[in-house]
Amino acid sequence: MAKPLTDQDRRKQISVRGLAGVENVADLKTNFNRHLHFTLVKDRNVATKRDYYFALANTVRDHLVGRWIRTQQHYYEKDPKRVYYLSLEFYMGRTLQNTMVNLALENACDEATYQLGLDMEELQDIEEDLLIACFLDSMASLGLAAYGYGIRYEFGIFNQKIVSGWQVEEADDWLRYGNPWEKARPEYMRPVHFYGRVEHTADGVKWVDTQVVLALPYDTPVPGYRNNIVNTMRLWSAKAPCDFNLKDFNVGGYIQAVLDRNLAENISRVLYPNDNFFEGKELRLKQEYFVVAATLQDIIRRFKASKFGSTDVLFSLHVQVAIQLNDTHPALAIPELMRLLVDIEKVPWEKAWDIVIRTCAYTNHTVLPEALERWPVDLFQNLLPRHLEIIYEINRRHLERISKLYPGDTDRISRMSLIEEGDVKKINMAHLCIVGSHAVNGVARIHSDIIKNTVFKDFYEVDPEKFQNKTNGITPRRWLVMCNPGLAEVIAEKIGEDYIRDLDQLKKLLEFVNDDAFIRDVAKIKQENKMKFAAHLEAHYKVKINPSSMFDVQVKRIHEYKRQLLNCLHIITLYNRIKNEPNKPWTPRTIMIGGKAAPGYHTAKMIIKLITSIGDIVNNDPVVGDRLKVIFLENYRVTLAEKIIPAADLSEQISTAGTEASGTGNMKFMLNGALTIGTMDGANVEMAEEAGEENLFIFGMRVHDVEALDKKGYDAVSYYNRVPELKQAVDQIAGGFFSPSQPGLFKDLVNMLMHHDRFKVFADYEDYIRCQERVSALYKNPKEWTKMVIHNIAGCGKFSSDRTISEYAREIWGMEPSLEKIAAPDDPQPATPPLRAVEVFCLHGFDSLFSF
């Protein structure tokens, strides 16, 4: 009997096709040993598995470096328009495997490590969650000259521990062992100023007496998919300047001065958790300005160093530069670019403002009012006094325009002002982004419609041409080929491998929706993934689950609008039904919920405690047995997502209609063969269109139903009194059934659900329960279930980040994606080859050829 294929075998099959030649395994082994000896200073007698991982990572990185340099040379020679993607956070994930997939190295590396007596999967598991971004992957794969900019946080989002059912946060010291993928670039360090005062003189405006923090860049390569292009993600680390006064030696202040450096460097110390509640903290504002100020200096430096640019032609900056503001966190790019143009480069205000608008574009990510950034004017006055002046002037000119368009409409003028009056004057950063950008987009069609019709309705009426939709997407390289190689190979056997670059080709799978052999193959891969994840849970969490049960999964940030509480009510209802009719043939379910609660978000933490408490009762009830299990997935993160998503049968996307901007987890589950139970919210709407609404389990209120209920008045108590099973579940929570040692533990949650629930959990309860009954019934028919899965996979083409980025490029940035493959460093050279990079460096110096 043939040995079953491992994930490594399947990725190997995919990796080896389409290569010009087979990588030299002997060379890889030589380079591995070279790095082990000369980079890590170890031999095989004392090296640890982590040392082997670093040796392998450095060996793979060697294959990136030549392509990385060649890409920058290519951009210097062609001088294309460049796009700069500014974000205060990039998701954390592993880099090694993704790099091997994109460079088609996995086959050779797997063979080399095997010959060295090492296990590739063990080495991959050692890697920390580093930095990834679907959009940057697609930008590189589409040949766009793109740069991601952010902060190199010393501590990422916290590690979550569950202790006695409660979330406990631990520091995520992701850099403690170093990062083999990053390269410090001290030659491009930039000063960032804070505080001080503003002087208006005959020579112009000066921002003086400031405190200076240095921004040190670290570059991470971002390889495209097998096109030899390697773009750059540049992250800034805060460093204190070294200008200590020598007299401090004599007065005893030197030691304290050294210690005070930490205060400056705190700027890049920790990532603020995203909890959808805006809190105006000075450190957060410092972070936002820090990344913007350093990045804009870098952009202008690179523009001036390019063939196109010079110190005299900043008027044409927008021709060669596009800046995408990912949410309002980098909104300060607008006043900062104005400051650089007007104060430093002496560009007249009107021309500078035209350049800013043509250069900047803004992506909105939330419609929740409490999540929109509003900074106190007093804080700005102290920290960024010149920027406050600039914002006031932008607002003055903006309101003059609105007054001319709508004379006498003081309400509209007040609504559209960048400055919100009240007990505390605040700057509305979303309004600043809209006024200072040439394009504003939502991230799903329903979300874009909401911001046009409600949240930013006034602005849409003034400038409708600014507003667009760019539905989010995911990279199929990471979220299929890498994390689910079995499914990727089964698909490739039917339609070839071109779908990895052109996900629309998945539509060809519709030809095989009734193919018994294909149905069996898809179902077999899903079962293998489930068994693999069950083994992972048992090994790492000491939890045993039934791989034959339905894996019902909800993994996302814990938040009221995501409605994990609705899931809890279904679990309790299902538990009660099994208890009432234990002999009925119930569809076995393992319900898994994962996600982190922001440390200061009390309600979210109570939701986690409720989930774990329900699990304690359900999982230990002998009457229920294996028919229902409830698992809270501790420390949910990208690496865990890469394991659970391929194993999931059912994806829970159950936010209140009109609250989720888009979601990308829904797309990842869909691509990996999970069926969706969800509301018509975010990207679910477009998923239902692409796969057919009959192939998703859609329930609940639509946006217009929610709006009508808001007007009528949502009365949770009426649902509670009318629906017996709902009442029983709520009473069990309130009465201490799931917290017998603390009967009143969840009284605040129940009070919120009954009297203060903005997200209307009870209103969707009945339809959700009915929909879950349909799910259970279909799961008993594996063939029909799998046919629906195939319909979903075939409908995933739209949700590739390649499509999303192509739309951004053509419709916002004014750039054209290219599938052109540039020459690799090892490729045959033209008859008259150019000087090699190292020769040019030696002859002319680094910046004479190109600039990173």
Mean pLDDT (whole number) for 580-596: 97
Number of domains in the chain: 2
Classify 601 in phi/psi space as left (phi over 0), alpha (psi -120 to 50) or beta: beta
418/435 Cα distance (integer angstroms): 9
Mean pLDDT (whole number) for 297-319: 82
Domain final residue, candidates 439, 469, 499: 469
Whether residue 819 is predicted with pLDDT greater than 90 in this model: the reply is no
Q: Note whether 88 and 147 are same-domain residues.
A: yes
Whether residue 294 is predicted with pLDDT greater than 80 in this model: the reply is yes
Whether residue 470 is predicted with pLDDT greater than 80 in this model: the reply is yes
Beta bridge partners of 591: 552, 630
Q: Note whether 450 and 494 are same-domain residues.
A: no
298/236 Cα distance (integer angstroms): 11
Residue 53 domain flag: no
Helix (H, G, I), strand (E, B) or coil at 627: helix
Q: Note whether 349 and 386 are same-domain residues.
A: yes
Q: Considering Cα of 246, then 251, then 252, then 257, what sign does the dihedral take? A: negative
427/706 Cα distance (integer angstroms): 30
Q: Note whether 503 and 444 are same-domain residues.
A: no
223/67 Cα distance (integer angstroms): 9
pLDDT, tens only, 2-33: 444 565 554 445 443 333 334 489 999 999 99
User: Helices 638-647 and 516-541, interaxial angle, to 10°?
Assistant: 140
pLDDT band at 327 (very low <50, low <70, confident <90, very high): very high
Residue keyed to tokens 């209120």: 701
Helix (H, G, I), strand (E, B) or coil at 586: coil
Note whether 104 and 19 are within 8 A (CB): yes
pLDDT band at 429 (very low <50, low <70, confident <90, very high): very high
Structure confidence at residue 308 (pLDDT): 65
Whether residue 515 is predicted with pLDDT greater than 50 in this model: the reply is yes
Average pLDDT, the chain: 90
Is 704 a known active-site residue?
A: no
Whether residue 455 is predicted with pLDDT greater than 50 in this model: the reply is yes
pLDDT band at 311 (very low <50, low <70, confident <90, very high): low
- The residues near 602 (Cβ < 8 Å, ≥ 6 apart) are none
Catalytic residue among 35, 426, 431, 557: 557
Residue keyed to tokens 């008859």: 831
Residue 9 domain flag: no
Whether residue 262 is predicted with pLDDT greater than 80 in this model: the reply is no
pLDDT, tens only, 167-201: 999 988 888 889 999 999 999 999 999 999 999 99
Structure confidence at residue 831 (pLDDT): 39
258/245 Cα distance (integer angstroms): 11
Residue 403 domain flag: yes
Least Cα distance to 545 among 594, 592, 590 occurs for: 590
Residue 437 domain flag: yes
Residue with the bigger pLDDT between 575 and 22: it is 575
Can you say how many angstroms the Cα of residue 574 is from the centroid of all Cα atoms in its chain? 33
CATH number at residue 309: 3.40.50.2000
Task: Give the sheet arrangement for strand 374-376, strand by strand.
Answer: 374-376, 426-428, 419-420
Whether residue 276 is predicted with pLDDT greater than 60 in this model: the reply is no
Is 562 a known active-site residue?
A: yes
Note whether 482 and 97 are within 8 A (CB): yes
575/724 Cα distance (integer angstroms): 15
Q: Note whether 510 and 446 are same-domain residues.
A: no
Is 603 a known active-site residue?
A: no
106/503 Cα distance (integer angstroms): 22
Catalytic residue among 152, 398, 431, 556: 556
Q: Note whether 412 and 518 are same-domain residues.
A: no
Catalytic residue among 12, 447, 562, 798: 562
Q: Note whether 319 and 287 are same-domain residues.
A: yes
C-alpha R_g of the chain: 28
Whether the predicted model's global pTM rises above the 0.85 cut:
yes
The three-point CA angle 140-145-151 to 5° equals 80
Side chain identity at residue 814, one-letter code: G
Among the ranges given (356-360, 405-409, 680-684, 827-831), the one the predictor scored with the smallest mean pLDDT: 827-831
Q: Note whether 373 and 521 are same-domain residues.
A: no
Structure confidence at residue 834 (pLDDT): 40
Mean pLDDT (whole number) for 766-785: 98
pLDDT band at 157 (very low <50, low <70, confident <90, very high): confident
Residue 595 domain flag: yes
Structure confidence at residue 60 (pLDDT): 95
Structure confidence at residue 828 (pLDDT): 37
Q: Note whether 464 and 553 are same-domain residues.
A: no
DSSP state of 506: G
In percent, how much of the chain has pLDDT > 90? 79
Is 365 a known active-site residue?
A: yes
Mean pLDDT (whole number) for 402-414: 97
Please enumerate, as own/partner, the contacts of 577-583 that have beta carbons within 8 Å and a separation of 24 or more. Answer: 578/623, 578/624, 578/627, 578/628, 579/621, 579/623, 579/624, 582/623
Distances (CA, A) of 133 to 130, 321, 357, 596: 10, 21, 26, 20
779/771 Cα distance (integer angstroms): 13
Structure confidence at residue 844 (pLDDT): 36
Side chain identity at residue 748, one-letter code: D
Mean pLDDT (whole number) for 603-608: 98
Q: Note whether 351 and 415 are same-domain residues.
A: yes
Q: Which among 259-273, 373-387, 814-828 has the top mean pLDDT?
A: 373-387
Residue with the bigger pLDDT between 389 and 19: it is 389
Torsion of CA 568, 572, 577, 580, to 10 degrees: 180
Residue with the bigger pLDDT between 508 and 845: it is 508
506/669 Cα distance (integer angstroms): 15
pLDDT band at 833 (very low <50, low <70, confident <90, very high): very low
Mean pLDDT (whole number) for 530-555: 94
Can you say how many angstroms the Cα of residue 395 is from the centroid of all Cα atoms in its chain? 32
Side chain identity at residue 39, one-letter code: T
pLDDT, tens only, 633-688: 999 998 899 999 999 999 999 999 999 999 899 999 999 999 999 999 999 999 99
Catalytic residue among 295, 587, 664, 679: 664
Structure confidence at residue 427 (pLDDT): 97
Residue 457 domain flag: yes
Torsion of CA 59, 60, 65, 68, to 10 degrees: 180
Whether residue 846 is predicted with pLDDT greater than 50 in this model: the reply is no
Is 536 a known active-site residue?
A: no
Residue 738 domain flag: no
Note whether 624 and 577 are within 8 A (CB): no
DSSP state of 549: S
Is 466 a known active-site residue?
A: no
Residue 547 domain flag: yes
Q: Note whether 543 and 617 are same-domain residues.
A: yes
Can you say how many angstroms the Cα of residue 568 is from the centroid of all Cα atoms in its chain? 26
Structure confidence at residue 829 (pLDDT): 39
Q: Note whether 498 and 425 are same-domain residues.
A: no
Secondary structure element (H or E) that encloses residue 493, with its range: helix 485-495
Residue with the bigger pLDDT between 69 and 2: it is 69
In percent, how much of the chain has pLDDT > 70? 90
Residue keyed to tokens 């040019």: 840
Structure confidence at residue 306 (pLDDT): 82
Whether residue 130 is predicted with pLDDT greater than 60 in this model: the reply is no
Among the ranges given (254-268, 464-478, 823-837), the one the predictor scored with the smallest mean pLDDT: 823-837
Catalytic residue among 318, 339, 365, 526: 365
Largest CA distance in the chain: 89
Among the ranges given (260-264, 345-349, 507-511, 679-683), the one the predictor scored with the smallest mean pLDDT: 260-264
DSSP state of 370: G
Whether residue 278 is predicted with pLDDT greater than 70 in this model: the reply is no
- The residues near 552 (Cβ < 8 Å, ≥ 6 apart) are 589, 590, 591, 592, 648, 649, 650, 652
Domain coverage including residue 86: 79-93+129-469
